[in-house]
Structure 1
Amino acid sequence: MASEDVVGKRTGESAVNTIVNLAEEAKLAREGVKAPGHAVLSICKSLVAGGVAGGVSRTAVAPLERLKILLQVQNPHSIKYNGTIQGLKYIWRTEGFRGLFKGNGTNCLRIVPNSAVKFFSYEQASSAILWLYRQQPGKEDAELTPVLRLGAGACAGIIAMSATYPMDMVRGRITVQTEKSPYQYRGMLHALGMIYREEGFRALYRGWLPSVIGVIPYVGLNFAVYESLKDWLIKTKPFGIAENSELSVVTRLACGAAAGTVGQTVAYPLDVIRRRMQMVGWKDAASIVTAEGRSKELLEYTGMIDAFRKTVRHEGFRALYKGLIPNSVKVVPSIAIAFVTYEAVKDILGVEMRISD
């Protein structure tokens, strides 16, 4: 009987503790404070949503992504890819269906964590920037402005790019391999190991500086244009497109398309230079990028400025926009799909905070 009393007492205490804990969580929820477990779960869901958004959007435009990189680094004296339609047909004819998606697996391995970190970093950076902005006298009730969103997006882009840059470097080299080039890299891990052994650790971050400089306007403008355009549409309701402070999927896709167009046009030359710098040090890249018997000067860049100078001198200013058309065709749906997928997955997972908030 004594043991039964002890068990009953413990059971009663456990029930009381459970009720107290639930009451505490309810109180925290009413006060707008999330329990630690809830916060961790929310972070995980946000990261998952960002990762899914990145994987879905990049896979949808993988053939255009590969063609863009091939156009960026191809030998200007031996043109194989001449435009979007012709380039895609050439890849299909010479490498088949799989050739259109070559490097996409590696790209997804890179873009999933990159996208997850980018979206999550944007949410955290925008919250922090807004908090700092509200500390100024008379700004207590201020909202995010396009400039603040641009700053938050730039922070998110730098963090995500730096965290996953070696994978981007490897993806560029794997994507450039064609049916006639030495298949030096069998996959991401193999490529990482070979580059580290043959070229050193610094080679994994070759082209990082133009990447970071380019990602500031690219990601910053993507978030700033997307969110500002959405806010404007919701507040002004032109043509009755906004109902109950919500936009349709089609309208959000259009906002994402506009954001992608602005961002990629501003940052594209830096993307070209990044790709070319990533080829430096790869002994088999000469068979892909330079003509036979021609000096390898185009592959020997001492830095970002030198790469800009040599590219313009040897190929003209237009070379800085090689691959822009397939990239434009790719970026517009890619950014649009990424934003809409991100918000849709967060809705499915039940995450309260969205980038619009």
Structure 2
Amino acid sequence: MSTDNRRAVAGVSEILVMYPLDVVKTRIQLQVGSGAKAEYSGVVDCLTKIVKNEGPSRLYKGITAPILMEAPKRATKFAANDEFSKFYKNLFGVDKLNQPLSILAGASAGAVESFVVVPFELIKIRVQDRNSPYKSVPDAFFKTVRNEGVLALYNGLEATLWRHIVWNAGYFGIIHQIRALLPEAENSTQKTINDLTAGAIGGTFGTVFNIPFDVVKSRVQNTVIKPGEVRKYNWTLPSLALIFKEEGFAALYKGFLPKVLRLGPGGGILLVVFTNTMDFFRSFHYGDSKPVEKKLD
């Protein structure tokens, strides 16, 4: 099996296993209120109620969108981070990336990635909602375009930019630091373990930093505005302030647990796929069958 095929299989497998957590995250983020007023009190309660009241298949409704998004999303993240890493090394005249430049390269890659993922994310969010009027991903896509226009697919772009810039900055920045602390890998197995460890920690920290922007993104993208109506959630920073004012600080971290359960381990898998992919292309470019270690530098 080729490297591209393994990368695709790994990405799709992660989605198939972890997607129910994404549905739970979205449901919790979209609910306004907490405590007795909240429909879902936590991850287990949300999973249980969805299965009981809507059926197990509901946990996978909308999964087509992230599957279609997987290849362009990963390709963009990998390529953009690698190119920005080279660019900033040349710009600042250094041979290796330090942590600040790793953060800067990651943030830049996240910004580019946002433009790729935002239409897929919007459709996914709208289909995942408990009260969604859409039967499927294609139904949501065509009705959104017909009723709101093509540009509506990019609603929430600003919040998505914040979310991806912050996550990638935290992810690649933490990876740089953790790799420096881990013992040098002496074989491919140890290298994979190091990557899984660094990536999982990076994914966890990235989630800690970006979850408030994810809450805003979910609410912006799930809002369908009728003529004459005013958006409650629009620009990111005012929306963060509004959620904090109306629901408290904890509301900014709604959906954190299911998200970190997915993106913590997912960050480790992502880094292993990233380094293996770059090893493949480097060995192919230099005509050497021996994998070339890639340390995001």
CA, structure 1 residues 72+182, in 2 after alignment: closer, same or farther (shift >3 Å)?
Answer: closer
Distance 2:56 2:11 in 1: 22
Q: 2:88 aligns with which of 125, 129, 144?
A: 129
Q: Contact 1:50–1:120 (CA<8 Å) still a contact in 2? A: no
| Percent of aligned pairs with the same amino acid | 26
2:195 and 2:272 in contact (8 A); partners too = yes
In structure 2, relative to structure 1, the CA distance for the partners of 1:218 and 1:50 (3 Å cut) is farther
Q: In structure 2, what is the equivalent of residue 99 of structure 1?
A: 58
Kindly indicate whether residue 221 of structure 2 is the aligned counterpart of residue 278 of structure 1: yes
Q: Does 1:154 align with 2:107?
A: yes
For the structure 1 residues 110 and 81, does the alpha-carbon distance in structure 2 shift closer, same or farther, using more than 3 Å as the test?
same
Change (3 A) 1:48 1:68: same
- Report how many residues are paired: 284
Deviations 1:283-324 (A, max 9, x none): 7xxxxxxxxxxxx98x62343233223322221121111111
Counterpart position of 1:211: 160
* CA deviation after TM superposition for structure 1 residue 52, in Å: 4.9
Matches within 5 A, 1:187-198: 187=137, 189-198=138-147
Equivalent residue of 2:100, what SS? helix
Quickly say closer, same or farther: Cα 1:182–1:223, change in 2 above 3 A.
closer
Query: CA contact under 8 A between 1:50 and 1:119: conserved in structure 2?
Result: no
Return the offset for 1:230. Answer: 1.8
Distance 1:193 1:333 in 2: 34
Equivalent in the alignment of 1:14:
none
Equivalent pair of 1:51/1:115 in contact (CA under 8 Å): no
Which residues of structure 1 form unaligned runs of 5+? 1-44, 284-295
Q: Please give the TM-score of this superposition, normalised by the length of structure 1.
A: 0.71
2:163 touches 2:214 (CA, 8 Å); kept in 1?
A: yes
Q: How does 1:55-204 map to 2 (within 5 A)?
A: 55-76=12-33, 78-134=37-93, 139=94, 142-176=95-129, 178=130, 181-187=131-137, 189-204=138-153
Q: Quote how far apart the aligned CAs of 1:208 are.
A: 1.1
Query: CA offset at residue 232 of structure 1?
Result: 3.3
User: After superposition, what is the alpha-carbon deviation per residue over 1:38-58, rounded to whole angstroms, capped at 9, x for unaligned?
Assistant: xxxxxxx88767655543333
**Residue 234 of structure 2 corresponds to residue 305 of structure 1:** no
Which SS does the other structure have where 1:149 is aligned?
Answer: helix
Find the aligned partners of 2:19 and 2:181 in 1 and give their Cα distance.
Answer: 32
**C-alpha distance in 2, partners of 1:58/1:201?**
27
Larger radius of gyration: 1
Amino acid across the alignment from 1:228: Q
The answer as to 2:192 corresponding to 1:249 is yes
Letter in structure 1 aligned against 2:78:
F
| 1:316 counterpart letter in structure 2 | G
Q: CA deviation digits over 1:315-340, x for unaligned, max 9?
A: 11211111112212222111112222
* CA distance in structure 1 between the aligned counterparts of 2:166 and 2:187, rounded to whole angstroms: 32
Amino acid at match of 2:90: W
Tell me the CA shift for residue 147 of structure 1.
Answer: 1.1
Gap regions ≥5 residues in structure 2: 285-290
Using the TM superposition, give the Cα deviation of residue 282 of structure 1 relative to its aligned residue in structure 2, in angstroms: 5.7
TM-score, structure 2 length as denominator?
A: 0.83
Matched-pair contact (CA < 8 Å) for 2:174–2:202: yes
Greater displacement, 301-310 / 217-226: 301-310
SS of 1:255 mapped into structure 2: helix
SS in 1 for 2:55: helix
Matched residues in 2 for 1:154 and 1:50: separation?
Answer: 23
Tell me the residue number matched to 2:288.
none
Tell me if structure 1 keeps the 8 A contact 2:32–2:247: no
